[in-house]
Structure 1
Amino acid sequence: MDLANFRPTHLKSLASGLVDQVTFVPHLPTPGGDVLATHSFSQVGGALNLEAAASRLGLKAQHCSPIGNGPRADAIRAAMAIEGVETLGIEEYSSGDSGLCITLVEPDGQRSFVTISGAEGVRSFSELEQYSYEEDAWLVVYGYELVYPTSKDAFLELFASGLIKSNIVFDPGPTTAELTPEILDWVGTHASLISCNQSEYEKLAPHVSPECWLLLRKGAEGAELWHHGKVVASAAGRRVNVVDTNGAGDVHTGAFLAALAQGNDLQASLELACRAAEYSIQREGGCTGPTWKELLALS
């Protein structure tokens, strides 16, 4: 695809929304041990991290995933309404409450997860085929949906159906090691853009077509944009006070997509994405992407 000149009208996300229980700890507990947390809070996360980041920067975001019924589902709907994210999830296919992610954050901002899937993790082809997959949209897919035993087969059927006309953005996330070769081969040859960190890319690399754009996030070192085996753009990181890296990769990706949609070139979009991620990691919790006013003040 011609990434530099692609101007999508919106972003559709098939990724899961759930509630994060964010807990700050001095260190991870040893096996069989315990650790006293400093503080903890609940916040909507998952797919909303990226969707909100894009929406705050002017790219219309649509959430195409069941939300469920229950207190966590209610919190997700309320948070998405506040962020201006349109919810298109087909609720007749969902049952029970939405999932929960226990997020442990260490003093250096590193985060570890325990995910308990809920209604968002139960997908069927009957649900997925009812969404439209327009050519003028980004379609966001996360690794989680391709790992959950209650959704993986539905996504494989969708991939084989030929229904997807949108440009796919794939973020494998922490589930990279659990993705099957079959899934990695399909994603590597059909995704227009893969957004990942260095360790995730090492698993993906043998499966990725040179036609696919790679947004390689390198933490404090910044980020690189690759195409056909070459670095097309690079942006250096800036030293900031790291509080919490939870959702920073999602903010980076959402900001990059929104910046491109606003007409910025590849280099400028990458730099803006890095600034957005730096803004995010200086704050607790997910969904901490900046507005345009806040972002431009950092650039």
Structure 2
Amino acid sequence: MDISQLRMLTAIYKAGSIVKAAKSVHCVPSNVTARMKALEAEVGCCLLNRGDKGVELSAAGKHLLAHAEKVLEAFGEAQSCFNDTKKLGGTLKVGSTDSFVSTQLASIAAAFEREYPEVVLEVATATSLELLEQVIEGKLDIAVVAVNTTNPKIISQRLPGERPVLVYPQRWLHDGPLNLNNRKLLAWPKGCPFQAVAQVWCDDSLKGVEWRVCASWGGILTCVEQGLGMAVVPRGVYDNYSALDGLAVCDALEFDRVDHYLLTHKRTGGHPVRDGFERILCGTSVHSG
């Protein structure tokens, strides 16, 4: 017994004819006849009374019809749920790096909530490698990271990234021409792509740089504002904190862009809520610096 057989049964009841019922379910009469005979064989009784004036449901057929109508109604509601995003519910677990959360996720989450008001959006922040592991383990539905992966279990999609900028204390300008040698530099721990950009720049261009580790963009920029050192940060992060007194940005330096990557697990297949979040995320203009 399947949905198509139940649809045929209800169509026969409404049309009173195999031929008319076949037109309403968009198939040939012989197929309707064969499917009804198969259904009768499955339930073990006659469902249709065939006469000169057409076809009527037997007592058993009418009994099955009552159940068929309920099943078809429930099936229709289930289908409409996936056609109407406002009816979709559940929880979507999203992971992201701190820089992406700080600069872009708020607008994406707001657009997602407008389209999927019944879905609870849970956001977790961690390093890119930690987020990758959580997607592999099924703890996250989707993750945005700053390091690409070739893991065979993962689908990775590149997102336009942003160029880092050098931020330093304004008070350094009070000492004359800006000198960045023998300064302290605040950065995330190794593994962060922005830390890697800063490392290459320091190795190629500066002398005597003393590193200080801080796993927070807000913490890093607050320390810079207090004169504790300089930092290479995502442009969007600086824009969010540019109102801080004492911050200066060096636009003369042009660092390589750091792209983001959207990670999902290959085994998850179709996922209407996750796919909707991905569509909104990819359709949002990403700051490229």
| More helix, by proportion | 2
Which protein shows a greater Rg?
A: 2
